[in-house]
């Protein structure tokens, strides 16, 4: 389906963007400082990890929201279709994974050790690399499970 292809293209672009971040982090000199984990650096790491977890949580929450058409607006049912929620959930998950890598750049600017900086950037890359679109609502796999009553 078209949405799955769009998500794959987004995945490739996000991977290229994170690899560009690795290159930028390697080229930028570290911020002056003690190069240890300050309380600010630990806060950034916690926010980054929370962002990674929220990507999964929000995606599943969006998928579980029931379709409730508004009787006053009949077009609202098509805007809240399972396919749109599926697509939005995956976009959110990939965006939050990219945010984990971006927090690595922020951590770099605080003077944190390179191991922490590249760990966050690498975690974002891993989250994007292992992303899979899963079963598309209304796709061929969903149609096979439909039972017709006679």
Domain boundaries, the chain: 2-21+39-66+80-134
Taking the model in full, what pTM does it have? 0.76
Specify the pLDDT at position 101.
Answer: 93
Residue 110, phi then psi, degrees to nearest 5: -90, -5
Distance CA(70)–CA(55), nearest Å, equals: 28
From 61, 44, 23, select the one nearest 100 (Cα to Cα): 44
Reading the chain (150 residues) residue by residue, the pLDDT tens digits are 688 888 899 999 999 999 999 999 888 887 676 667 889 999 999 999 999 999 888 888 887 776 666 666 655 555 667 788 888 888 999 999 999 999 999 998 888 888 899 999 999 999 999 888 777 776 555 444 444 444
With a CB cutoff of 8 Å and minimum separation 6, the contacts of 110 are 31, 33, 38, 40, 41, 44
């Amino acid at each position: 389906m078209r949405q799955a292809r769009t998500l794959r293209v987004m995945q490739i672009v996000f991977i290229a963007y994170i690899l560009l971040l690795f290159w930028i982090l390697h080229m930028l000199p570290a911020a002056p400082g003690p190069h240890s984990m300050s309380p600010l650096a630990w806060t950034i790491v916690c926010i980054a990890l929370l962002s990674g977890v929220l990507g999964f949580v929000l995606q599943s929450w969006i998928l579980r929201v029931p379709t409730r058409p508004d009787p006053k607006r009949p077009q609202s049912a098509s805007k809240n279709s399972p396919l749109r929620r599926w697509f939005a959930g995956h976009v959110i998950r990939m965006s939050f994974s990219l945010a984990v890598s971006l927090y690595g750049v922020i951590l770099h600017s605080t003077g944190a050790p390179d191991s922490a900086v590249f760990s966050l950037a690498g975690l974002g890359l891993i989250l994007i690399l292992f992303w899979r679109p899963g079963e598309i609502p209304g796709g061929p796999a969903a149609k096979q499970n439909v039972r017709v009553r006679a």
